[in-house]
Amino acid sequence: MKKFIVTGGSGFIGSNLVKFLLKKKFFVINIDKLNYSANPYNLREIKKNKKYKFFKLDINKRNQIYNIFNKFKPDGVFNLAAETHVDRSIDNPKKFIESNIYGVYNLLEVLNKYCKKNKKKIKFIHISTDEVFGDLKKGERSDENFPYNPSSPYSASKASADLLIKSFVRTYKLPVIISNCCNNYGPNQFPEKFIPKLIYNIITNRPLPIYGKGKNSREWIHVKDHCEALLKIFLRGKIGETYNVGSKQNISNINLAKKLLKKIKIKSFKINKKVKIIFVKDRPGHDFRYALNSRKILKEMGWKTKITLDQGLSQTFDWYLHNKSFFNSVSKKLHVNRLGLKI
Ligand code: NAD
The pLDDT tens digits along the chain (343 residues) read 999 999 999 999 999 999 999 999 999 999 999 999 999 999 999 999 999 999 999 999 999 999 999 999 999 999 999 999 999 999 999 999 999 999 999 999 999 999 999 999 999 999 999 999 999 999 999 999 999 999 999 999 999 999 999 999 999 999 999 999 999 999 999 999 999 999 999 999 999 999 999 999 999 999 999 999 999 999 999 999 999 999 999 999 999 999 999 999 888 889 999 999 999 988 888 888 999 999 999 999 999 999 999 999 999 999 999 999 999 888 765 555 555 555 4
Q: Is 335 exposed, middle or buried (0-12, 13-18, 19+ CB in 10 A)?
A: middle
19 in contact with ligand 1, CB cutoff 6 A: no
- Looking at residue 132, its pLDDT comes to 98
Ligand 1 center–CA 12 separation, angstroms: 7
- Looking at residue 256, its pLDDT comes to 97
32 in contact with ligand 1, CB cutoff 6 A: yes
- Looking at residue 329, its pLDDT comes to 86
Ligand 1 center–CA 81 separation, angstroms: 5
- CA 38 to CA 300: how far, in whole Å? 34
Residue of 5, 6, 10, 13 to test ligand 1 pocket, by largest number of atoms within 8 Å of CB: 13
Whether 241 is catalytic is no
Please answer whether residues 210 and 279 qualify as being in contact, where contact means their C-beta atoms are separated by less than 8 angstroms: yes
Residue of 15, 16, 32 to test ligand 1 pocket, by largest number of atoms within 8 Å of CB: 32
Ligand 1 atom with the smallest distance to the CA of 183 is 40
- Looking at residue 341, its pLDDT comes to 53
- CA 11 to CA 60: how far, in whole Å? 17
Q: Beta strand pairing status for 217-222 and 250-252?
A: antiparallel
- Looking at residue 343, its pLDDT comes to 44
Ligand 1 atom with the smallest distance to the CA of 188 is 3
Ligand 1 atom with the smallest distance to the CA of 8 is 7
Q: Write the DSSP string, 221-272.
A: EEHHHHHHHHHHHHHHPPTT-EEEE----EEEHHHHHHHHHHHHHHSSPPPP
